[in-house]
Amino acid sequence: MQEDWTEKHRPKSLAEIVGNDQAIRAIRRWAESWASGTPRYKAIVLRGEPGTGKTSASLALAHEMGWDVVEMNASDHRNADSIRRVAMMGAISQTFSPTGEFLSSSKGKRKVIILDEADNLFGREDFGGAKAIVETIKESGQPIILIVNDYYELTRKASALKTLTDKATFYRLDRRFVTLLLKRVCEKEGVVVDSAALDSVAQNAGGDLRAAVNDLQMLVEGRSTVSSADTGALGKRNQEKELGAALRAMFGATTVRAARDATLDVDLTPDEIEKWIEEGIPREFRTAEELAAAFDSLSRSDVYLGRTRRLQHYRLWAYAKDMMSGGVALSRGIGQRPYVEDYGFPQQFIVLSRAKGQRTARESVCRKLGSVLHASPRRIAESTLPYLSEMAKRDSDFLVRLAVGAGLEEDDIAYILGADPDSEAVSKVAARVKSARSGELAGSSDKAAKKNGGRGKRSLADF
């Protein structure tokens, strides 16, 4: 089987990477900051769409700096335990070479922890992974790289990463850069592909270099020469635009058509797009007149969305999208447009997410307490939990006994105390609960052993 060209032709140094110069400079500065000891930011987030070179830049940096690599990706089981075992164990202090040789960090020998697709870390199988990443960064003695497609999803679940990490943004490559890199691949592979065919492959990839290389490999397989006529087999690649790039294009549009087209490939419903635009308006517009006009257009869009839901007449979506995109974009007056690096995650989504999280936590606590107190979860929630919560806040010993008896976990304890799961108060109680459970388990084993000592069979009295 032919080797994957995307792996075969990965850059070996940052100098070989074409495009995204600002991101490359940011990565290099961050890496060099480790030379003088522990830097301000122990981790850096590489954000951007798939195929823009984030993983290649990480591996090229490691090769250039002489760092060993510990890599975790979306195929790994990345729950709290696995992250602490793989990333934390590798990040705390010293390192060893692949051959087992001890390498002192004081002599510049380091290894980099690369966590790919870190924004996809929040499924049920990844429980506790976000918190483990934050803990790892805080305690790390080695550099850490987080690679994400959706920075908002990452920071929504682990907001502490905003202040703990440096950032570098990768954008889709210009077609000329993609064509240049494809020519280099052809030269290394000894195949002849005419310029028109390369340009067609680059244009079809839409700035996704990985997709372009994969398409090129597919075209030349079994051939030594390729012409533009052979590129018809590729078809039109349906590229989804990064949400941030789509919003920038929409807010900067000067026509209704351009503003509407900017959001066509965004994989969100009109209702969701409207919330993102609502959050972005105060960042994009400065004067009272512009803000009033923009929110007026957005409110008209909301009227059409309401009619769509009420009448189930989905052709009205077109009017709603014209108002929320073109109407908002054309609200801009004369003057320089402010630079907006990030568009905030919609506050309404955050509130709904927190409310859902609170409901889930309450249900978990009531279900566990119900099995111990022999009452329904509903009765626990209505008449028992408020009193238990007040008692727990005033008496930590009571909370420890309650947690041990009902099998409460750290998130359950946080809900009862009305505190953040990462808070010191919750951590102290959780540590005491863990200690109490260990002691209880040891005591039970000793007691059972004494009861059974000297007897061949156990009776019901032993239980």
278/245: higher pLDDT = 278
**Residue 106: what pLDDT?**
47
Range 255-260 average pLDDT: 89
pLDDT of residue 277: 93
Res. 318 pLDDT band, cuts 50 70 90: confident
Q: Is the pLDDT of residue 241 over 70?
A: no
* Residue 58 pLDDT level (bands cut at 50, 70, 90): very high
Domain boundaries, position 441: 353-448
Identify whether residues 335 and 359 lie together within a single domain: no
Interval 248-269 mean pLDDT: 85
Chosen domain end from 345, 366, 398: 345
Domain boundary residue among 320, 345, 370? 345
Residue 294 near residue 328, CB atoms below 8 Å: yes
Same domain (yes/no): 340, 275: yes
Higher pLDDT, 141 or 165: 165
| pLDDT for 448 | 52
Q: Among residues 161, 177, 93, 173, which one has the least CA distance to residue 129?
A: 161
Mark whether 230 and 146 lie in a shared domain. no
- For the CA atoms of 204, 205, 206, 211, the dihedral, rounded to the nearest 10 degrees, stands at 170
Residue 453 is assigned to a structural domain of this protein: no
Say whether 158 sits in a helix, a strand or coil: coil
Q: Is residue 456 part of a domain?
A: no
- Look at residue 123 in the predicted model and tell me its pLDDT: 44
Unique residue bearing structure tokens 């995650």: 345
* Alpha helices (runs of H) in 221-336, residue ranges in sequence order: 243-251, 256-262, 270-284, 288-311, 317-321, 328-329
More confident of the two residues 389 and 141: 389
Whether the predicted pLDDT of 357 surpasses 80:
no
**Same domain, yes or no, for 264 and 152?**
no
- Distance from C-alpha of 244 to C-alpha of 252, rounded to nearest angstrom: 12
- CA 162 centroid distance within chain: 12
**SS3 category, 15:** helix
Query: What's residue 351's pLDDT?
Result: 67
Residue 84 lies in a domain: yes
Work out whether strand 95-96 and strand 102-103 pair parallel, antiparallel, or are unpaired.
antiparallel
Q: How many domains does the chain have?
A: 4
User: Which of 184, 206, 234 is at the close of a domain?
Assistant: 234
Domain membership of residue 223 (yes or no) is: yes
Query: Does one domain contain both 292 and 256?
Result: yes
pLDDT of residue 37: 76
Is 454 inside a domain boundary?
A: no
Q: Based on the domain organization, do 214 and 270 belong to the same domain? A: no
Based on the fold, state whether residues 157 and 67 are members of the same structural domain: yes
What is the DSSP secondary structure assignment for residue 84, as one 8-state letter? I
Same domain, 23 and 106: yes
Residues 226 and 371 in one domain: no
Q: In terms of domains, do 398 and 274 share one?
A: no
Task: Copy the structure tokens of residue 299.
Answer: 């409110």
Same domain, 376 and 439: yes
pLDDT, residue 240, reads 44
* The pLDDT of residue 266: 77
